[in-house]
């Protein structure tokens, strides 16, 4: 009997949840794992949900917060992230607020009053803010229905972003025995998942692990070769759209941003060395779409929820595959086709090694394993979607993803790689392993450089062996041999030396894969999925985008808080002529229809009558 009653209460809860999904968010249905995650929060069963970026984790707790009585507390690591989420909720008419250390006493009092009055559904806080004893005591008096712990991998020191203050969240079970706890993250291995459940003292949690694949992302991992031109080419494939360019060092960030600006691209730099005001201004300009491109170190992004980042370029290798998944994952959160380009060279591994050596050397071996796995993935010639998903322990069941440089045939694997490798390795040996890559390339391609003539290296048997291939291909192959471990770069001068496996390769006792960029041009839309744009009036889309930018600036909120790209494309495709027709568009809820419907409809009408 009790069970039946519970079941029926839960199914009522799910009905309410689905109703809210339609009316408040304007979406038709929950995604498969989302429905289970929502049901567990409504039922008050602890849970641990691993869904990739863009998988829709926020709704898993935002909707139950409205369904359940009492206050839901969302623990989130970054103030900017909280602010954006709260802005987005308020735009949808949801009773949400945040408390953080930058607020005035008066602002805090207003929030506290609405908590006392039972008027709030959702409260966003940082872990350290929540754990202040006075705050905890105050919240114990409120009716807290559940805690949602966002970025829950920060709880575990096995994860890639451990934060000690997250550990302290273990007190929650004790202090709030009636509240359920729900942990959410985009990346957590089985070990990290166990650790999260243990640290947060979850009771019989429902554990759901989503599919790690991001089918809307097209991955390209070409060797770096005239990097700036490559970066500019990606940006030109997405005119007027938002993109992120990641660089390893601050200096490279500054140089790249300046070079892009000089080519007329609207780009700004972002790194931890800039003062707070400048950083906030650059980030703000990016999310309000006043600039197109942000060039940044990995310091940028943790707090960014921007759903319509159309491309992410890495100007060098990220330090691990986990980091790559997270950083590239910032593209296409709205599910629309987006591009991720990783430019890499053998030198990146050395750069990271130097950075690791300056930091916590206790983890040096583990860090080197991570960067080597990343390097292997870059130089591999296996479907990128498959390689990434398999790294995270899942199977990829499609033969051809049609969304990576390998499957799109953009990589040209050279036929007789061993012979080419032998030519390079024997040149290194003939140069007595005393020269760097630049000089070796010159010898192999038959340069008449004065130093070569002076040292008599034009008489070596390997002089000019790769003349017909050219310097840039030769350089790329040397990088590939370095990243595959056949060559090492040694000492301050980065001189090339053969490794044991390099010597084996010289004797043809090992195999090697070398590639060059294919002649096939990179297209702006990958094959098969360009229908994201089919039927969209591009002129109208741009007009609506400008309107969105204006509305966002007036309200001081991120542009996507007004409407996401998918909604704008649908509006520019369907061109609704009245409120009812506009209500049918996915992602348009009642509150937004009321706030923005008339102004978008009149913009559409104006376009039609031109």
How many Cβ atoms are within 10 Å of 197's Cβ, its own excluded? 22
Please state, in angstroms and as integers, the Cα–Cα distance from residue 387 to each residue in 66, 374, 454, following that order: 40, 11, 47
Nearer to ligand ADP, 225 or 532 (CB): 532
CA 176 – CA 146 distance, rounded (Å): 9
Strands (E), 18-106: 47-50, 71-75, 96-98
Nearer to ligand ADP, 29 or 137 (CB): 29
Are the beta carbons of 556 and 566 closer than 8 angstroms?
no
Closest CB 52 distance from ligand ADP, rounded Å: 7
Per CB under 6 A, residues contacting ligand ADP are: 27, 30-31, 34, 51, 53-59, 305, 307, 333-334, 564
CA 341 – CA 365 distance, rounded (Å): 27
Report CA torsion sign: 484, 490, 495, 499.
negative
Nearer to ligand ADP, 327 or 334 (CB): 334
Residue number with the smallest Cβ distance to ligand ADP: 56
Closest CB 458 distance from ligand ADP, rounded Å: 58
CA 371 – CA 349 distance, rounded (Å): 7
CA 570 – CA 541 distance, rounded (Å): 9
Nearer to ligand ADP, 312 or 378 (CB): 312
Closest CB 30 distance from ligand ADP, rounded Å: 5
CA 570 – CA 489 distance, rounded (Å): 52
Closest CB 552 distance from ligand ADP, rounded Å: 15
CA 232 – CA 220 distance, rounded (Å): 15
Nearer to ligand ADP, 325 or 488 (CB): 325
For every residue of 100-156, DSSP letters joined together read -TTS-HHHHHHHHHHHHTT--SEEEE-HHHHTSHHHHHHHHHS-EEEEEETTGGGG-
CA 413 – CA 401 distance, rounded (Å): 18
Closest CB 195 distance from ligand ADP, rounded Å: 21
Closest CB 150 distance from ligand ADP, rounded Å: 8
CA 410 – CA 221 distance, rounded (Å): 10
CA 2 – CA 61 distance, rounded (Å): 26
Nearer to ligand ADP, 506 or 552 (CB): 552
Nearer to ligand ADP, 35 or 373 (CB): 35
Closest CB 269 distance from ligand ADP, rounded Å: 26
């Amino acid at each position: 009997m009790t069970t039946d009653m519970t079941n029926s209460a839960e199914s009522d809860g799910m009905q309410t949840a689905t109703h809210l999904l339609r009316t408040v968010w304007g979406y038709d249905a929950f995604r498969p794992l989302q429905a289970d995650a929502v049901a567990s929060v409504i039922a008050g069963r602890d849970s641990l949900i691993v869904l990739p970026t863009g998988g829709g984790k926020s709704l898993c707790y935002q909707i139950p917060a409205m369904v359940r009585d009492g206050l839901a507390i969302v623990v989130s690591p970054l103030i900017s992230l909280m602010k954006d989420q709260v802005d987005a909720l308020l735009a949808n008419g949801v009773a949400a607020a945040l408390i953080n250390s930058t607020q005035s006493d008066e602002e805090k009092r207003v929030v506290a009053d609405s908590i006392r009055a039972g008027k709030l559904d959702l409260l966003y806080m940082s872990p350290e803010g929540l754990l202040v004893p006075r705050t905890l005591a105050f919240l114990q008096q409120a009716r807290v229905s559940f805690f949602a712990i966002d970025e829950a991998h920060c709880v575990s020191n096995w994860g890639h972003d451990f934060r000690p203050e997250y550990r302290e969240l273990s007190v929650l079970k004790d202090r709030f025995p009636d509240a359920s706890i729900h942990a959410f993250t985009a990346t957590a291995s089985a070990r990290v998942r166990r650790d999260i459940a243990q640290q947060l003292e979850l009771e019989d949690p429902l554990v759901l692990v989503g599919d790690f694949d991001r089918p809307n992302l097209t991955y390209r991992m070409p060797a770096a070769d005239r990097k700036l031109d490559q970066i500019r080419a990606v940006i030109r494939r997405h005119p007027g759209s938002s993109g992120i360019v990641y660089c390893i060092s601050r200096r490279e960030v500054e140089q790249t941003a300046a070079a892009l600006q000089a080519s007329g691209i609207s780009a700004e730099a972002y790194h931890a060395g800039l003062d707070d005001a400048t950083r906030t201004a650059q980030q703000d300009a990016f999310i309000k779409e006043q600039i197109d491109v942000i060039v940044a170190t990995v310091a940028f992004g943790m707090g960014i929820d921007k759903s319509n980042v159309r491309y992410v370029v890495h100007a060098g290798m990220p330090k691990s595959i986990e980091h790559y998944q997270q950083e590239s994952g910032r593209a296409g959160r709205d599910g629309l086709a987006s591009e991720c380009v990783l430019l890499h060279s053998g030198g990146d591994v050395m750069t990271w090694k130097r950075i690791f050596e300056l930091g916590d050397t206790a983890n040096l071996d583990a860090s080197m394993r991570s960067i080597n796995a990343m390097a292997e993935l870059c130089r591999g010639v296996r479907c990128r979607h498959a390689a990434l998903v398999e790294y995270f322990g899942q199977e990829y069941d499609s033969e051809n993803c049609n969304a990576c440089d390998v499957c799109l045939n953009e990589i040209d694997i050279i036929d007789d790689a061993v012979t080419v490798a032998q030519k390079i390795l024997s040149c290194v040996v003939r140069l007595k392993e005393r020269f760097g890559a630049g000089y070796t390339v010159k010898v192999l391609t038959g340069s008449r450089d004065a130093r070569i003539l002076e040292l008599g290296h034009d008489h070596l048997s390997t002089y000019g062996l790769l003349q017909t291939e050219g310097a840039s291909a030769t350089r790329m192959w040397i990088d590939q041999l370095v990243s595959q471990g056949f060559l090492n770069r040694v000492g301050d001068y980065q001189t090339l030396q053969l490794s044991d496996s390099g010597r084996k390769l010289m004797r043809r006792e090992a195999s090697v894969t070398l590639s060059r960029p294919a002649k096939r041009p990179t297209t702006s839309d990958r094959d098969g999925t360009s229908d994201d744009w089919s039927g969209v009036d591009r002129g109208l889309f741009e007009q609506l985008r400008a309107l969105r930018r204006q509305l966002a600036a007036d309200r001081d909120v991120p542009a996507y808080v007004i409407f996401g790209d998918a909604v704008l494309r649908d509006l520019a495709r369907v061109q609704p002529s009245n409120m009812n027709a506009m209500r049918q568009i996915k992602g348009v809820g009642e509150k937004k229809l009321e706030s923005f419907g008339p102004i978008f409809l009149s913009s559409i009408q104006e376009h039609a009558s031109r």
